[in-house]
Amino acid sequence: MASDGFDLIVIGSGPAGEKGAAQAAYFGKRVALVERERRLGGAGVNTGTLPSKTLRETALYFSGLRQRGLYGIDYSINRELTVPDFMYRKDQVVRSLWALVEANLERHRIELVSGYGEFEDSHTLRVTDMDGGVRRLSAPVILIATGSYPNWPEGVVRDPERLYDSDTVLQMDRIPSSLAVVGAGVIGCEYATMFRAMGVEVTLVCGQDRLLPFLDEELSEALRVHASRLGLSVLLNESFGEVDLSGPRVRLRLKGGGTLETERVLFATGRMGATQGLGLERVGLGVGPRGHLKVNENYQTEVPHIYAAGDVIGFPALASTSMEQARVAMCHAFELRYKSSVSTLLPMAVYTIPEIAAVGETEASCRQKGIACCVGRARYQDMSRGQIVGDVSGLVKLVFSPDDRRLLGVHIVGEMASELVHVGQGCLHYGGTIDYFIQAVFNHPTLAEAYKYAAYDGLGNLARQQKPQAP
């Protein structure tokens, strides 16, 4: 059977696959995109990033959590709320995003090939569709962007009605009265706070001594405190040893010696690179213990004309970085003098309740690197907009150099943190100082004004730090 020739074959239509394909097609390359699922968009659109963020907004709406701070009203969740009620907005958003991805492919004249793709050789992909039909595609460049899937704990049997992972939790039959979340990474913390906001009794089992230890320690503690105020039970330095499904409720035997009984369990124990079934052994490619492909700074695998981007290569496994990785990879593959690297300044957002966002250095990373630093803080409760929107627990924290006041890092917890962080990111990118925030005029009332007051606080702290000590 003859193969169809393209300039590029992309495997996977998630954020990396879609943007990589569009980048090459934008510059006139003939591109085929292979997708095995019925719906475009990968986990980012269908089961992960965007659905969970939409569910967060739904939880805030139905719980009235924002209005509690705004009006002092004690809302309680409607126990008659059904899963279709809860999922309605998520389903609407996902359908809209399917259409957006499809329109982007059509606009760039990218040929969508539905089916399971596997390598026959390093330039040829065999695609088998749902009816068993086979089509062979060939190209001088191939991009693997197959994403990831949830890691299921070893030794735990599947029970779709009571045990979930981060994909199947979206298919629950009803909202449970109690839920244990095993694993306190980003996904675990997001779902734990979301379901607690919905009035579900939630226990978060965290294997470390604090939540999200990659965060600035002050933000990590702020999340723990807020979770406690929500009524979320957090078990630190704890993990489960066994799952007992013999009774009507799930029993988790904890390695610390205790037992946790709950109606449902969500395992948020990491994700695996989706590399199974690609026939990588036929082209001499191996994967790491979690299924990830190894790439160089140009996102080339050990076979130079085969590139990989997104979750399939592991950390940081963010939609934002995945898109940029794929764009950079395709610019390198086709010698497009357009984009040569992914920025080293990567913003991060965690869509817990409350939101958390950060970019740049933390106080701890400065200490580890031997960088002198000073900090300035501003709290939402001192901002007019913070009072207006009812978020009085938010915080903007600036880390800066005491020598030249150059901004080193920005850390935010509270309403709109994921948006506000980009103000600081721009200043960091251009090597700016905290004087920028003092000199700039911010709309009033806004949460962004917190930058100005955090900078003033930082200058005050710096003056006290530099004040000569009395003999």
Q: Which residue, of 214, 246, 269, is where some domain finishes?
A: 269
* CB-based contact 301:144 (threshold 8 Å): yes
High-pLDDT (> 90) share of the chain, %: 66
CA 179 to chain centre: 22
Number of C-beta neighbours around residue 456 at 10 A: 15
For 208-225, write each residue's pLDDT tens digit.
Answer: 999 999 999 999 999 999
Res. 62 pLDDT band, cuts 50 70 90: low
Check whether residue 296 and residue 387 sit in a common domain.
no
* CB-based contact 159:180 (threshold 8 Å): no
Task: Specify the CATH number for the domain of residue 416.
Answer: 3.30.390.30
Q: Which residue has the higher pLDDT, 67 or 161?
A: 161
**Would you state the pLDDT for residue 286?**
94
Residue type, 101: V
* CB-based contact 180:203 (threshold 8 Å): yes
Mean pLDDT of 415-438: 96
Check whether residue 418 and residue 365 sit in a common domain.
yes
Residue 317, in any domain of the structure: yes
Q: Which of 1-5, 238-242, 335-339, 402-406 shows the lowest per-residue confidence on average (mean pLDDT)?
A: 1-5
Check whether residue 227 and residue 91 sit in a common domain.
no
Check whether residue 393 and residue 446 sit in a common domain.
yes
Number of C-beta neighbours around residue 442 at 10 A: 15
The terminus-to-terminus CA distance of the chain in angstroms comes to 89
Task: Specify the CATH number for the domain of residue 212.
Answer: 3.50.50.60
Mean pLDDT of 352-372: 95
Res. 322 pLDDT band, cuts 50 70 90: very high
Q: Which residue, of 269, 295, 317, is where some domain finishes?
A: 269
Mean pLDDT of 29-35: 95
**Would you state the pLDDT for residue 311?**
93
Number of C-beta neighbours around residue 376 at 10 A: 22
For 402-419, write each residue's pLDDT tens digit.
Answer: 999 999 999 999 999 999
Residue 339, in any domain of the structure: no
Q: Which residue, of 269, 288, 306, is where some domain finishes?
A: 269
Laid out side by side, the sheet with 306-308 consists of 111-114, 31-35, 8-11, 141-144, 306-308
Check whether residue 42 and residue 137 sit in a common domain.
yes
CA distance 409 to 367: 13
SS3 397: strand
**Would you state the pLDDT for residue 224?**
92
Q: Which domain holds residue 391?
A: 354-466
CA distance 210 to 392: 23
Check whether residue 50 and residue 136 sit in a common domain.
yes
Residue 170, in any domain of the structure: yes
Check whether residue 315 and residue 179 sit in a common domain.
no
Check whether residue 34 and residue 87 sit in a common domain.
yes
Residue 342, in any domain of the structure: no
Check whether residue 141 and residue 29 sit in a common domain.
yes
**Would you state the pLDDT for residue 68?**
46
Residue 343, in any domain of the structure: no
Res. 73 pLDDT band, cuts 50 70 90: very low
Check whether residue 28 and residue 142 sit in a common domain.
yes
Is 462 a residue whose pLDDT tops 60? yes
Res. 86 pLDDT band, cuts 50 70 90: low
CB burial of residue 109 (10 Å; 0-12, 13-18, 19+): exposed
68-107 burial, b at 16+ Cβ within 10 Å, e below that, comes to: ebeeeeeeebeeeeeeeebbebbeebbeebbeebbebbee
Q: Which of 274-288, 339-353, 413-427 shows the lowest per-residue confidence on average (mean pLDDT)?
A: 339-353
Residue 265, in any domain of the structure: yes
Can you give the pTM of this predicted structure?
A: 0.88
Mean pLDDT of 362-390: 94
Q: Which residue has the higher pLDDT, 331 or 41?
A: 331
Domain count, the chain: 3
Residue 158, in any domain of the structure: no
Mean pLDDT of 82-103: 74
Residue 301, in any domain of the structure: yes
CB burial of residue 268 (10 Å; 0-12, 13-18, 19+): buried
Mean pLDDT, the chain, as a whole number? Answer: 89
Check whether residue 276 and residue 179 sit in a common domain.
no
Check whether residue 16 and residue 131 sit in a common domain.
yes
